[in-house]
Structure 1
């Protein structure tokens, strides 16, 4: 997505991060809309793709980093920089499990959308989104562990 430091700082706004939770359901609905509007379904798909790009650029940098979702976004960046450090080693199995669950959910979601199977689509959404949200909580805890150990954490 080509996010630079300024874009990441804006994405740390809880309004940005929480509104991104809408992306998978909106994308699923846009793809499913081919049933109702045929080839015109490309328009809502393009709109969702535009939303994916625009969202982290739309909101201002948050005034504070106290919000849970702000900590989750910053924690993701901390994990990318320090996920191999011993202070967060105990989080690695959970991160792998939740990343796998989200990935599996994405595969199930895609299958549901291809076959227009509502049960698979909803199961895929639950797995992908549930795994991601739980992972965000792990990122908050990992960020706290890194800070407690004196590691540099991302600031905005």
Structure 2
């Protein structure tokens, strides 16, 4: 069984053919952005590996995610005879959104940056307090979630809780 290709945006460089670039662009109701609807067989778009369902991110190095259909078409036509399209397939788009990453041309060349375990300890806060311990020893919590620093649990009545920032390891 072949291993799947790693998720990454694709930079498609198209040279206009006798019948144009050979793809149909459209917006989808309820979804932000412009999408490739159809790629003509034997077209420059097919040769550049543009695929139906791809979402268009950049045209000739300019982000078009917030632009209208008309604006995007004008950007494609602005450079005569050729165009560079940065696109993402559905899976890559979902991964970028999940990781809150902005799609770039560098990602098309180098791939997505390595994913880090969001629960991997990134020591940012130290919690020092007795938390009801009988011997008065301090408890040090070293955890940060993707939602921010961990909050203290309810301490025993009469105990104190202090937070101070510490260096990351």
Alignment TM-score, normalising by the size of structure 2: 0.26
Higher fraction of helix:
1
Higher fraction of strand:
2
Q: Work out which of the two has the higher radius of gyration on C-alpha atoms and give 1 or 2.
A: 2
Higher relative CO (CA 8 A, sep ≥ 6), structure 1 or 2? 1
